Amino acid sequence: MGRFAAWPLMTALRRALLLSLPLVLVGTFALFLNALASFPFAAALPPDMVGTVRAVCTATVGGTFGLVALVAVIGFPYSFATLTATGRDRYPVNPASASMVVLSCFFIMVAPDTLERWKEALSSTRGLPAALVVAVSASWLFLFLARRPRFRLRLNGFGADPLVGDLLSVLPAAVTTIVVFAIVRQVQVELGGPDLTTALTAMITAPFVGATPSPLLAAVFEFMGQVIWFLGGHGANMMGPALEQIVASAGEAGSNAGGPPHVITWNFFSVYAGLGGSGSTLCLIIALLFADREPSARRLAWLSLLPALINVNEPLVFGLPLILNPIYAVPFILTPVVLTLLGYFATVIGFVPVADHAISWTMPPLLSGYLATGSLAGTVAQLAALTVGTFLYLPFVRIAARLRLAANAKAMQALRKASESDEAVLGNRLIDLPGTAGRFAGALAGDLNDALGSPNQLYLHYQPQVCIEERRVFGVEALLRWDHQIYGLIPPSVTVALAEDMGVIDQLGELVLRLACRQRAAWGGFVPNDLIVSVNVSPHQLRKADFDRTVLKILAEEGLQPDLLELEITESTSLTPAVQALGALLRLRSAGVRIALDDFGMGHTSLHYLRELPLDTLKIDRSLTFTSQGDLNEHVIRSIVALSRTLGLRAVVEGIEQPEQLPRFIDLGCGRFQGYLFSRPLGSGPCLDYIRANAGNAA
């Protein structure tokens, strides 16, 4: 199902229908306003105002719903040409030329001869099936021909505008495609056949011609419409002619029996099954708000609520999505069928009157039940249908949420791997990743932006740094934490990479620096006076012209002495432009701020940084901590310790986790350590307790 949904033809079909979404929304609201103008309260308004509103709404409906088929004819070939193009195409096709050719083929095939027929051919009901058939077939034929040398003109340097060459080069393919459809249309005329719109209308209505109205007929109609929706078509519009046939048959049955109108009326399906539009999507929205805690899903549900109240389901159908989504296939198709049968039998047994009062399909649920039946029982029946539909969707919403969490966990692993990679990246590191990982990164990016504006979502933990010789904690490293309300702790590397992708790394870095300085100032006399707080600084921050001024400003605002702050620069990243970064560090160093070089020892720039930067501390790369007696890493560490003593620098060994590591590094001359063997990163309170418990005692 997933591969079928990703097929370029299906993707182009979805996009073609999605392009009409603004028209559908605007047209629906216009229909709704036009319907409100017929309510009794409108009589209190000036007649001219009501007439003007009606005229504006009518014009809007004609200019929106009346062009849906045209949008599909233009949008499908453009999307299909774009999706099927590859960088290896020897004969690329301009998508605009595909739209132009297909539009011509559509007009040839529908061939309206009156204004009313034109309106019908371009409308969202009768015109859409023909539009989709022509769009798919003509697009395929044109692109098939245009990507073959026999149907191309070879033009070299033709014209100043490249579009001229693009259009003329595919002229043979365009002419051939148009002629083929013209011949097909002429054969159709010679044989006395109807135009394509009429033919497709007859094909759709054929199963329902002469059929006796019954619960089974109603269920089959709703089932077929939902299947069309699920496959990417506009079920309500494409089944419109069939609804006309069913209502006509029901009316004839009622007249012949000499009794009241039949259960199935124009409003029947929209009142009982179309709660929120085809698919009973208002039930799904309630289920999402009740059972899905993911912010993106809830935002989509709230966004879809207003359109759903006037029975427009497209935001949820395309946004969740519901089209070709195997998780929601069963409830999306069957829930409206179940609600149709409930409405049918509720009417048959006399619980509600027949829904034969003329109302617009845009009337909100609960109100439409009352208006269509003329009874509060209609509202009660709709409320019961909403409840049943919500319970039918609930288990599938929970299944989808669990599967999404599992997929997100896998995507998080991919994000962590990408964020920790040292490979050069073009563009965004995480957001541009393909597939689920990239979409997940995009969702997290939006949440991170919200978190930066909130005072409590981002916070710091502190990992103690221990001096064995002095038997005390001499410093702490401030480490960023983001506890996402849905996904839990986000790896810091992912948070930083997302901030870089979004261009807010400076804002994030300043927040971390401010929180660290504020906490160290708050500890005050409760910790040793020379306890240092270390903060990691990104290369992007260092490239800012006012970086040193920003640091000193934060120190002054938080009331912290500069010599209690240490800025950690990652050795594995490039400090460019070097002159600007070096100048900022020199000015900070002269003000008293300490500078540490992180991950020292394995990178090719280690000695260059050691020579150029005003350093106070070397933090030995954790990859060197995996040593054995006499191996190369041991010799490297011994050399780094000796070099640091010669230069008057502190050497701190990171990543000490196993008890057997400690005596080996002490023998190598190391005296300052940081790692899980001593303490994991701690919140401010537990970290203060650890510092005070290890202020001059054995660590």
* DSSP per-residue string spanning 672-698: EEESTTT---B-HHHHHHHHHHTBSS-
Average pLDDT over residues 296-323: 80
Alpha helix locations (H) across 310-423? Answer: 314-319, 329-348, 367-373, 376-420
| pLDDT of 336 over the 90 cut | yes
Amino acid 180: pLDDT: 92
54 CB-contact burial (10 Å; exposed 0-12 / middle 13-18 / buried 19+): middle
CATH 3.20.20.450 fits 442-693, yes or no: yes
194-240 pLDDT, tens digit each:
767 777 777 777 777 777 778 888 898 889 888 877 876 667 777 87
Residues 110, 70: Cα–Cα separation, whole Å: 12
| Residue, of 89 and 378, whose pLDDT is higher | 378
pLDDT category at 559 given cuts 50, 70, 90 is very high
pLDDT category at 1 given cuts 50, 70, 90 is very low
pLDDT, averaged across the chain: 81
631, amino acid identity: D
For 470, what's the count of Cα atoms within 13 Å in the CB-facing half-sphere?
A: 14
Q: Which two tokens stand for residue 95?
A: 């998508």
Residues 296, 233: Cα–Cα separation, whole Å: 26
Amino acid 464: pLDDT: 93
Amino acid 695: pLDDT: 76
| pLDDT of 575 over the 80 cut | no
Highest mean pLDDT, choosing among 167-176, 374-383, 502-511? 374-383
Residues 353, 343: Cα–Cα separation, whole Å: 10
| Residue, of 606 and 467, whose pLDDT is higher | 467
pLDDT above 90 covers what percent of the chain?
19
Mapping DSSP to helix (H, G, I), strand (E, B) and coil, where does residue 461 land? Answer: strand
Highest mean pLDDT, choosing among 117-126, 128-137, 165-174? 128-137
Task: Identify the weakest region by mean pLDDT among 321-325, 369-373, 692-696.
Answer: 321-325
Amino acid 602: pLDDT: 58
Task: Identify the weakest region by mean pLDDT among 104-108, 235-239, 299-303, 384-388.
Answer: 235-239
| Residue, of 456 and 465, whose pLDDT is higher | 465
Q: What global pTM score does this model have?
A: 0.62
Amino acid 301: pLDDT: 86
55-93 pLDDT, tens digit each:
888 888 777 777 777 888 888 898 888 888 776 667 778
Residues 170, 195: Cα–Cα separation, whole Å: 28
98-131 pLDDT, tens digit each:
889 998 988 888 876 666 667 766 666 666 777 8
Average pLDDT over residues 479-484: 88
Contacts of 340 (CB under 8 A, 6+ apart): 218, 219, 222, 269, 272, 273
- List the one residue out of 96, 101, 313 whose CA is nearest residue 225: 313
Average pLDDT over residues 643-660: 85
Mapping DSSP to helix (H, G, I), strand (E, B) and coil, where does residue 470 land? Answer: coil
pLDDT above 70 covers what percent of the chain?
86
Average pLDDT over residues 656-677: 85
Instruction: Detail the DSSP E strand segments found in 575-674.
Output: 594-600, 617-620, 650-654, 672-674
pLDDT category at 656 given cuts 50, 70, 90 is confident
Average pLDDT over residues 237-265: 69
Alpha helix locations (H) across 258-293? Answer: 268-272, 281-291
Residues 183, 77: Cα–Cα separation, whole Å: 21
| CA distances, 555 to each of 518, 525, 548, 559 (Å) | 9, 17, 11, 6
667 CB-contact burial (10 Å; exposed 0-12 / middle 13-18 / buried 19+): exposed
Residues 517, 522: Cα–Cα separation, whole Å: 9
- Any idea how long the chain is? 699
Highest mean pLDDT, choosing among 37-41, 337-341, 671-675, 695-699? 337-341
| Residue, of 378 and 426, whose pLDDT is higher | 378
**Any idea which residues carry the catalytic annotation?**
654
Amino acid 163: pLDDT: 61
268-288 pLDDT, tens digit each:
888 999 888 888 989 999 999
SS3 content of the chain, % helix, strand, coil (to 5): 65, 10, 30
Average pLDDT over residues 413-433: 73
- List the one residue out of 88, 90, 72, 70 whose CA is nearest residue 80: 72
Amino acid 552: pLDDT: 93
Average pLDDT over residues 458-486: 89
Q: Which two tokens stand for residue 204?
A: 């759709």
Amino acid 392: pLDDT: 94
Alpha helix locations (H) across 151-239? Answer: 162-169, 171-190, 196-205, 215-230, 235-238
| pLDDT of 587 over the 50 cut | yes
pLDDT category at 387 given cuts 50, 70, 90 is very high
pLDDT category at 566 given cuts 50, 70, 90 is very high
pLDDT category at 519 given cuts 50, 70, 90 is very high
pLDDT category at 646 given cuts 50, 70, 90 is confident
Amino acid 698: pLDDT: 41
| pLDDT of 165 over the 60 cut | yes
Q: Where are the domains of the chain?
A: 1-208, 211-420, 442-693
